[in-house]
Chain A
């Protein structure tokens, strides 16, 4: 005998995420919610409000800041936290560089991988025992393998070869001192679910997600943005193209796609027809090798 719930697709996903958020808050001592200003974390924050209002959120927002943000994203992050009256903790990769815990090959090297170090330092400084993140299983083949309540050892490392069993929706959030959990309430959402939910709930996003003209250079399959930290190389032709970002991450590894989608309805239509995966189309950090995401996660990345 099987059983079903007759909730509609988005209602089911929303309710599941709220349930997971409440379990995470109830089973931890000192949680935080990772908020970068990107679309997935904006959805996660919206769901957190649904889970806990009229009370204040039972956790601060945490951003691991590489300092290499696209224009408008930092402002969006700060304005959102201020508008909601919620505490924002910013952990700077720059501070880790100053301390010497992050060493870059060159001053302009990507700070993306270094985020794991800064994140683990923030966990230690603030004593966080559980971090809520907006990662989705459909993003990457290593993420597809992860539990909703993902256990991390005292080094913050994910051990994909011996994950805790996770039965039904009975989440076991028990920890030994020094360990932590990463909890992913959007595990079962797809990119299309995120956009249709943003449309339904009228969730505000940074303007980067919508079509705009930007200087770019061709780099293999990508249009690499020309920015202060990623200038065009000598002889490279800088073009001005109509583009938008499908993901918003560090400037050194995130590329826009060509698009004239200037509102959410147009983005949804484009997402339905896309033949490229979200990260495949935009993330240079995943192209380093086949297991790039898995290796970063083993080192403590979210």
Chain B
């Protein structure tokens, strides 16, 4: 098996409403021959289609809900799958409306690359829309690579001058977010220019097509090279009725590798023990790595439970962390309330002690003070937890550095969180 077979690229669309995100996804799938003939037929007969006679409304490839087609908007994330000989793609079409930002965050958290679309025809002197800035901010915060696509180039007659103005604004936005050397591709999603293949429409554009740019994203870091992390999902009892009954820990290796004989630390007490066996359904392994679902057995009775994490020697826990939050709940943050923090398989009571700043999406400045946290806010907060949590930084380990906050009254997922440091 070659490395090439294993490459997976997960793409999410981002940007303001009506900038052409769904049409772009439809175009990529259509031009990659990833649509079946009955699906194309269904597009040409679709109700509410906005395409001209004989044309297809490609946005309907992913806008599959009745109310999305009726209103001509995307409400929630759609997942589509296709593969080229080298790469498997998951394409995730996300909504542009501010009120559906939580769905965009859902899509982005399951992607590696974000295509941030900009409508070239609707900018004045290159001024970007608030949603463009918000989505670029979220994508970067969630650790995604950001690629910009300047869409609807036909409406500005493929003017290099207008493109350069937009490009300048996108570079300025990138600098303020800390995105280095972003690819910026002029496209027309509706006609397919520069989407899958480079188009003669813009002879002044020297770069690659959008799909080539997406395909050639560097691989990043191998999760197996990070420190070992294993959140326990379930405790398994083998021969549970016998005296010599053994307890195993079932879970998926979040990062790193583990071998029989390795010393591991259990939970916040960091109690040491050694791995005695690594089992799957039909095999005993000597070694396992990030991504594998296995059952681990230890030499000592360590009394680990669901929610505990087995780690390698490099790990630290803390009761207080600093974290970036995207607030996703209609109900604003209530300072008197406790929230459950779910990190790995652990659910621990926590509270937000202070809001250090909230980002103003108009100019990306950081507004200080104990503000109210409400729907769609992106903030930096200080959290206190009832018992210590693993203090991995999200930028070093996105598997364990990520968490969600749950409102225990409503069970709603109130926020997406990323650990930035300890206090």
Q: Which of A49, A145, A190 contacts B78 (CB 8 A)?
A: A145
**A241 to nearest B CB, angstroms?**
20
Residues 48-79 of A, flagged 1 when their CB comes within 8 A of B and 0 if not, give 01110111000000000000000000000000
Q: Which residues of A contact B408 (CB under 8 A)?
A: 174
Q: Which of B38, B220, B234, B236 contacts A1 (CB 8 A)?
A: B220
A166-B106 in contact (CB<8A): yes
Q: Which residues of B contact A2 (CB under 8 A)?
A: 112-113, 143-145, 217-221
Whole-angstrom distance between the alpha carbons of A8 and B88 in the complex? 11
Stretch in B62-70, B116-124, B199-207 with 4+ CB within 8 Å of A: B62-70
Q: Which residues of A contact B312 (CB under 8 A)?
A: none
User: Would you call B30 an interface residue if the criterion is a C-beta within 8 Å of the partner chain's C-beta atoms?
Assistant: no
B77-A161 in contact (CB<8A): no
User: Would you call A108 an interface residue if the criterion is a C-beta within 8 Å of the partner chain's C-beta atoms?
Assistant: no
Whole-angstrom distance between the alpha carbons of A165 and B327 in the complex? 11
Interface residues of A in 129-175 (CB under 8 A from B): 137-138, 140-142, 144-145, 147, 160-161, 163-168, 170, 172, 174-175
Interface residues of B in 250-271 (CB under 8 A from A): 250-252
Stretch in A17-25, A208-216, A225-233, A247-255 with 4+ CB within 8 Å of B: A17-25
A1-B143 in contact (CB<8A): yes
Residues 289-331 of B, flagged 1 when their CB comes within 8 A of A and 0 if not, give 1111100000000000010000000000000000000001000
User: Would you call A26 an interface residue if the criterion is a C-beta within 8 Å of the partner chain's C-beta atoms?
Assistant: yes
B36-A275 in contact (CB<8A): yes
Q: Which residues of A contact B289 (CB under 8 A)?
A: 6
A22-B79 in contact (CB<8A): no
B81-A161 in contact (CB<8A): no
**B75 to nearest A CB, angstroms?**
6
Q: Which residues of B contact A281 (CB under 8 A)?
A: 38
Q: Which of B36, B398, B411, B416 contacts A277 (CB 8 A)?
A: B36
User: Contacts A2-B143, A167-B109 given: A190-B413 contact, CB under 8 Å?
Assistant: no
A167-B105 in contact (CB<8A): yes
B65-A160 in contact (CB<8A): yes
B5-A50 in contact (CB<8A): no
Residues 223-267 of B, flagged 1 when their CB comes within 8 A of A and 0 if not, give 110100000011011100000000000111000000000000000
Whole-angstrom distance between the alpha carbons of A12 and B220 in the complex? 18
Whole-angstrom distance between the alpha carbons of A163 and B100 in the complex? 10
Residues 99-115 of B, flagged 1 when their CB comes within 8 A of A and 0 if not, give 00011011001101100
Please give me the residue from chain A that is nearest to B343 by CB atom.
A170
A274-B416 in contact (CB<8A): no
B252-A18 in contact (CB<8A): yes
User: Would you call B345 an interface residue if the criterion is a C-beta within 8 Å of the partner chain's C-beta atoms?
Assistant: yes
Q: Which of B6, B78, B406, B412 contacts A141 (CB 8 A)?
A: B78
Q: Which of A142, A167, A187 contacts B416 (CB 8 A)?
A: A167
Please give me the residue from chain A that is nearest to B80 by CB atom.
A144
Whole-angstrom distance between the alpha carbons of A1 and B179 in the complex? 10
Whole-angstrom distance between the alpha carbons of A14 and B293 in the complex? 9
Q: Which residues of B contact A172 (CB under 8 A)?
A: 342, 404, 406, 411, 413
User: Would you call A84 an interface residue if the criterion is a C-beta within 8 Å of the partner chain's C-beta atoms?
Assistant: no
A274-B36 in contact (CB<8A): yes
Q: Which residues of A contact B406 (CB under 8 A)?
A: 172, 174
B292-A15 in contact (CB<8A): yes
Interface residues of B in 339-353 (CB under 8 A from A): 342-345
Q: Which residues of B contact A290 (CB under 8 A)?
A: 42, 46-47, 66, 69
Q: Which of A138, A176, A280, A291 contacts B66 (CB 8 A)?
A: A291
**B130 to nearest A CB, angstroms?**
21
Residues 400-412 of B, flagged 1 when their CB comes within 8 A of A and 0 if not, give 0011101010011
User: Would you call B222 an interface residue if the criterion is a C-beta within 8 Å of the partner chain's C-beta atoms?
Assistant: yes
Q: Which residues of B contact A176 (CB under 8 A)?
A: 411
A167-B280 in contact (CB<8A): no
**B44 to nearest A CB, angstroms?**
12
**A258 to nearest B CB, angstroms?**
16
**B268 to nearest A CB, angstroms?**
19
CB pairs A–B below 8 angstroms (28 shown): A1-B220, A1-B395, A2-B112, A3-B220, A4-B112, A4-B220, A4-B221, A4-B223, A5-B223, A6-B224, A9-B5, A11-B292, A12-B6, A15-B252, A15-B292, A15-B293, A22-B233, A50-B282, A55-B237, A137-B80, A161-B75, A168-B399, A190-B81, A276-B38, A277-B39, A290-B42, A290-B69, A291-B66
The 5 closest A-B pairs by CB, nearest first: A141-B64, A280-B38, A2-B220, A5-B291, A174-B411
Q: A interface vs B, CB < 8 Å?
A: 1-9, 11-12, 14-15, 18-19, 22-23, 25-26, 49-51, 53-55, 137-138, 140-142, 144-145, 147, 160-161, 163-168, 170, 172, 174-176, 187-188, 190, 274-277, 280-281, 290-291, 294-295
Please name 17 further chain A to chain B contacts, defined as beta carbons within 8 Å, in addition to the given A3-B226, A144-B64, A174-B411, sorted by A numbering: A2-B143, A2-B219, A5-B223, A9-B6, A15-B252, A26-B233, A26-B345, A50-B281, A51-B281, A137-B80, A137-B81, A145-B77, A147-B106, A163-B76, A165-B416, A290-B46, A294-B66
Q: B interface vs A, CB < 8 Å?
A: 1, 3, 5-6, 8, 36-39, 42, 46-47, 62, 64-67, 69, 75-81, 88, 90, 102-103, 105-106, 109-110, 112-113, 143-145, 217-224, 226, 233-234, 236-238, 250-252, 280-282, 289-293, 306, 328, 342-345, 395, 398-399, 402-404, 406, 408, 411-413, 416
